[in-house]
Each structure stands twice: as structure tokens, then as C-alpha cells.
């Protein structure tokens, strides 16, 4: 695997993952009541816990994107 191929894979993975994160955020912001209603059918969850779980999940997902895709991509851009 060449460095250029790895950089491209990391860049596109970061873009796609940020798109998923944006989709998740927009879904929670624009359709919050519907998403909560769907989740509350399966789980006995309070609205405060629902919001906390989704916010923490988005934060964790964003940290993972930066850690595993964006930072390695930037390191490869700096080194090579």
C-alpha cells in the first residue's frame, strides 16, 4: 500500500464519517420527538437520559473520527 493510497483512504473515511455524524446531529435536532418516540417504544428511557446518551455518543464518535482518521491523515501529510 502506498502512502498516497493510505492518505486517500483516511481522507475519504473521515469525510464519510463526518457525514454520518452530521446526519445523526440533524436527525436529533430536526426530528427529536420522532426519534425519542421510536426509542421509547423499545426502551424505558427518560427524555433527559435520551439527550445525554445521544450527546455523549456524538462526542465519542467525533473523538474517534479525529483520533483514527483526521490526525493520521494530517501526520502523513506533514511527514510525506
| pLDDT mean over 43-71 | 97
| CB of 12 closer than 8 Å to CB of 53 | no
- How remote is the C-alpha of 34 from its chain's centroid? 20
Residue 62 domain boundaries: 3-79
Q: What phi-psi label fits residue 46: left (phi over 0), alpha (psi between -120 and 50 degrees) or beta? A: beta
Q: How many domains, the chain?
A: 1
pLDDT tens-digit readout, 1-42: 899 999 999 999 999 999 999 999 999 999 999 999 999 999
The pTM (predicted TM-score) of the whole model is 0.92
Amino acid at each position: 500500500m502506498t502512502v498516497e493510497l493510505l492518505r486517500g483512504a483516511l481522507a475519504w473515511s473521515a469525510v464519510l464519517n463526518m457525514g454520518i455524524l452530521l446526519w445523526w446531529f440533524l436527525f436529533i435536532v430536526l426530528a427529536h420527538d420522532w426519534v425519542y418516540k421510536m426509542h421509547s417504544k423499545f426502551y424505558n428511557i427518560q427524555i433527559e437520559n435520551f439527550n445525554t446518551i445521544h450527546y455523549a455518543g456524538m462526542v465519542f464518535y467525533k473523538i474517534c473520527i479525529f483520533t483514527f482518521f483526521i490526525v493520521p491523515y494530517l501526520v502523513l501529510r506533514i511527514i510525506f
